[in-house]
Amino acid sequence: MAGWMLHALSWLLGLFQLISAAVLPRDVTITVPDGITYSAAKHLLCVPTTWSDVASFFLGNYLSHAATVVSFPGESKYVLIMNMALAIVFPAMGAARGLVAIVRHAATISDPVQQALRSRALCMVVRSQDWKPQRDEMMHSLAYVPKELREDEDGCNGYTLLAKHAQSVTEHEKKLKQHQIQVDMKVETPPWVASAVDDVHLEVVPRHFQIFGTYHLPPGYELAYVPPTALVRTLSDIKYSLFSSYSMGSAVIAIIQIIYASVTLYRSRGNQVTQYGYASFAFTVVPYLIMSFINMLGNLVTPAYASMYMVHSEMMDEALNRGGQFQGMVGRLESAPPSSSEFAVFSGSFEQDSKSDDDGWIFKPEDAEDQLAGDSETSVIVEPKEATPKKEAPEQNDESPEGTTTNRKSRTATWFGSIFHSNQKQSSSETDDNEKNPATRGLIICPSCYKFKETAKRSILTANHPDQYPLPGYILYRLTLLVISALPLAVIGGMSHFKAGPSSTVAQRAWTMSWLAVGSVVGGLNASHTLAKKMQFVKDARVHGHFWSKLAETIGFILILLALGAPAIGGFVVVAQMLRDYGSCQLLG
């Protein structure tokens, strides 16, 4: 019975289809208003584009992608906004921050302090370039470069000179205590800090960054990032936990933007590519699609920190003795003696020279009495030369989602002085020559930080900043960034075969391709670090800028952004033109 009813129902449905086919016409003509076009072959319905459609396209495919940019620990909103602006003009720059977060992958570490170290959220106290010695304060790990080495290789870093002439370091140390010569003093980044590709070792924490707890830095000190190879011990009496969170909001936004941009790209396979070819406006969203994907991964594998955290160190104790105040440390650096194979080091103290007319200092080596028994006092007088003008090194202007850098070749503060021995006298002519040429004087080097213990395990991507990767890791990072920057070319070539469409103009093709090319080159070279240097005026990392300096900084940033972003601005203009000409289209069926 049931089978018979099923056959009857099937017969009735078939009869209905035959009747419908006979009665209904095969071709249906629909009249549409003027300005609306329909392509039956591609099922594409297009209506005139309004300015709201253009604004919606720009908001959904360009501006909103900036919300996926990875933020680094302690960054202020001002810095984050600038990085978002850079990502809108150069999406490869935004992808570079996401790539750095992926390389750090701090989420794979369970210990909170080590996770913060990998995330670049720990800072320590270091000596700044305007640091000066205090009376009777014992210092160690000092190094001496004689004037002979400085004459042969003028302009080289002091530690670099010592490394090149390691065989004669003992003789150099004896000259410090036995000869009457003049000497310079300056603070340099010591070689026991992890080496870097571009000769930059310590990175100073930018002045606008948020630091957990309370602190007061005495003159001559600043905060710097803890190197990723440092062995940081968690404090046993810590009463608070490190607060971190994963940027799930940014990751969700990235997913939405990836879907939206993918739909935009999918729709371009219709008449748009046929009309405009490789200049199609839908192809301009590809770099932003890639940026959002990279940033989504970066936000998932590296936690976000609203503030940076301080760690205790031997240099912090020195700052405490000078009136510094620090609360909120989460770990400590264990001191370690400097390697004797690198160069000779010595200890000593300073005191004011009461016999000097100027406000000078006398340096006494710790072992002077033992090694120079019977001789009169061996000392180093360090006196500022008021009559001799000094050229100040150019300031490093350095604030980005990557941070401020101390360059060992600049921003050095030098005090002039003389070494004297009671049994020896220096001719006035030699003194005059030394005053005229600072390179003919010896040099006492004070390290910006004392040596601390490091982890034995290192890899090619040990450092948490690209400029500090060992050479193999640095090359790998740059190549990866260049590949990411060039990916849009592969997508455009695969979908358009780089054919020029009949509806595209020379200006449209020129602007869209120059936009893509300049963005790929600037982003591939990770020029955001260079841009950050150009837009910031840094004298002391912890001194807050005044209104006019902040205004000048912002204006400088805008000018550089407009100069390098001219192709992007031109690209935005021609995209708006193409949107107006092409219409707002929708695939049917």
Q: Are 179 and 424 in contact (CB under 8 A)?
A: yes
- Taking each continuous run of H as one helix and of E as one strand, the counts in the chain are 19, 17
504's tokens: 């595209």
Residue closest to 142 by CA, chosen among 444, 449, 378: 444
pLDDT tens sequence for the chain (589 residues): 444 444 454 444 444 444 444 444 444 455 555 556 666 555 666 777 788 888 888 988 888 888 888 889 988 888 888 888 888 988 988 888 888 888 888 888 888 888 899 889 999 999 998 888 887 778 888 887 777 776 666 556 777 777 777 666 566 666 666 554 556 778 888 887 755 434 456 788 887 789 998 999 999 999 999 988 888 998 877 766 777 766 566 667 767 767 766 776 666 556 788 888 999 888 998 999 899 899 988 888 888 888 999 999 999 999 999 999 999 899 999 888 876 555 667 777 766 555 545 444 566 666 543 333 333 333 444 443 333 333 333 333 333 333 333 333 333 333 333 332 333 333 333 334 444 454 556 677 889 999 898 886 665 555 556 656 666 767 788 888 888 888 888 888 888 888 888 888 999 999 999 998 888 877 766 544 444 444 443 333 333 445 666 677 677 777 877 888 889 999 999 999 998 888 776 666 5
Q: Is 100 exposed, middle or buried (0-12, 13-18, 19+ CB in 10 A)?
A: buried
Distance CA 100, CA 556 (A): 26
pLDDT for residue 403: 38
502's tokens: 């009949």
Q: What is the dihedral of CA 473, 258, 499, 524, to 10 degrees?
A: -20
Strands 331-333 and 309-312: parallel
Rounded to two decimals, the pTM is 0.71
Any idea which residue has 């890639």 for tokens?
290
Measured from the Cβ of residue 177, the count of other Cβ atoms closer than 10 Å reads 19
Sheet holding 221-225, edge to edge: 221-225, 122-127, 309-312, 331-333, 232-234
Any idea which residue has 């003696």 for tokens?
337
Query: How big is the chain, counted in residues?
Result: 589
260's tokens: 């939206």
- For 509-547, the pLDDT digits (tens) are 999 999 988 888 777 665 444 444 444 433 333 334 456
Distance CA 67, CA 64 (A): 6
pLDDT for residue 512: 92
- Cα-Cα-Cα-Cα dihedral sign, residues 109, 111, 117, 120: positive
Any idea which residue has 């469409």 for tokens?
501
At residue 92, what are phi and psi to the nearest 5 degrees? -65, -25
pLDDT for residue 166: 65
Residue closest to 345 by CA, chosen among 336, 353, 355: 336
DSSP-assigned letters across all residues of 506-565: HHHHHHHHHHHHHHHHHHHTTTHHHHHHHT---S-TTSPP-HHHHHHHHHHHHHHHHHHT
Measured from the Cβ of residue 39, the count of other Cβ atoms closer than 10 Å reads 14
Q: Are 362 and 352 in contact (CB under 8 A)?
A: yes
Distance CA 131, CA 127 (A): 6
Distance CA 150, CA 568 (A): 48
pLDDT for residue 406: 38
The residues, any chain, with a CB within 8 Å of residue 472's CB and separated by 6 or more, are: 460
Strands 331-333 and 232-234: antiparallel
Distance CA 525, CA 479 (A): 10
Letter for the amino acid at 148? E
Letter for the amino acid at 126? V
Distance CA 208, CA 399 (A): 8
Distance CA 125, CA 235 (A): 17
Measured from the Cβ of residue 77, the count of other Cβ atoms closer than 10 Å reads 9
Any idea which residue has 């300015």 for tokens?
51
Quote the Cα angle for 582-588-589, to 5°: 155
Residue closest to 543 by CA, chosen among 205, 239, 202, 101: 205
At 252, is the secondary structure helix, strand, or coil? Answer: helix
Q: What is the dihedral of CA 406, 135, 338, 451, to 10 degrees?
A: -50
pLDDT for residue 562: 80
pLDDT for residue 570: 93
Distance CA 125, CA 162 (A): 25
Paired strand residues for 188: 447
Residue closest to 118 by CA, chosen among 244, 245, 229: 229
pLDDT for residue 508: 92
DSSP-assigned letters across all residues of 439-492: GGSEEEEEESS--B-B-S---TT-SSSGGGS-HHHHHHHHHHHHHHHHHHHHHH
Q: Are 166 and 343 in contact (CB under 8 A)?
A: yes
Q: Are 433 and 208 in contact (CB under 8 A)?
A: no
At 188, is the secondary structure helix, strand, or coil? Answer: strand
Q: Are 117 and 334 in contact (CB under 8 A)?
A: no
DSSP-assigned letters across all residues of 411-449: S---EEEEEE-TT----HHHHHHHHH-GGGSEEEEEESS
